[in-house]
Amino acid sequence: MSTPPRRLWQIAGALTLAHVVLIPVGIALQAGPLFTDGAQGITDDYVGDNLARAFTGGVLEALGFLLFVPALVFLGRVLGRGSDAGAWAAQTGMACGLAYVTVTLAVGFPAGAAAMYGVQHGLDVDAGFAINNLRIFSYFLSLLLLGGSTLGFAVAALVDRVHVRWFGWFGMVAGIALLASTPLAGIGQQDLGTLVYLVWLVGVGVLLLRRRGDAPADAVTDPVGSAPREATIGHS
């Protein structure tokens, strides 16, 4: 399989950055009561909130996750092509990433929307609280999938010496932070790993955009300007 042309690398980078941008934009338009807010949080954030504005934010955020799907598939294709171990890691990263998107779109978003719509149309607040908890707990558990995805791509990069510092080592840090975020949810610190991950993902998007040329990559430079490292991206 030949190395994808530069245009595809740039499209994947743009999709990755669009995903990162649309998440906070969508969240800013929505009210999201936390588990610790209890039923009162449902009353404060859902009962009197603007349904059209919140649903617009939800659609934008969902669009961001949809755009992330082809980026995940692209990373699963171009990483880990230099060895069987790297290919295994890259495919694991892609599979976990797609599972993360699936859980978010199929469980998290519908539960939050149903809770908000329900309490504004006669549903008991306690019932709305229970439905919203499905959104929250699905998010906590989905961080394990996101951590697995990040670690898979990071291992593939390390094995095949592709952007070792950013894709690889910083990706390992981000993946471990995401795995730790699920148990840290017990003390309300579940978002720390996500912040580290988003920084890593922005760098990934930028590196994809900066991809030069259409020829197979015989040397890939780390983002801090160090000497090129031998790597194979794509089958010969």
Share of the chain above pLDDT 90, in %: 50
- As given in the structure block, the two tokens for residue 58 are 């939800």
The pLDDT tens digits of the residues spanning 26-79 come to 988 887 777 677 777 777 778 877 888 888 999 999 999 999 999 999 999 999
- Inter-residue contact 184 to 192 (CB < 8 Å): yes
pLDDT at residue 216 above 70?
no
pLDDT digits (tens, 9 = 90+) for 157-198: 999 888 899 999 999 999 999 999 888 877 778 888 899 999
Supply the pLDDT for residue 161: 87
End-to-end Cα distance, the chain: 6
Query: Three-class SS string for 67-80?
Result: HHHHHHHHHHHHCC
Question: How much is the pLDDT for 220?
Answer: 47
Query: What is the average pLDDT score of the chain?
Result: 84
Question: 219: part of which helix (H) or strand (E)?
Answer: strand 219-220
Structure tokens at 90: 């890259």
For position 82, what pLDDT does the model report?
83
Q: Where are the domains of the chain?
A: 6-230
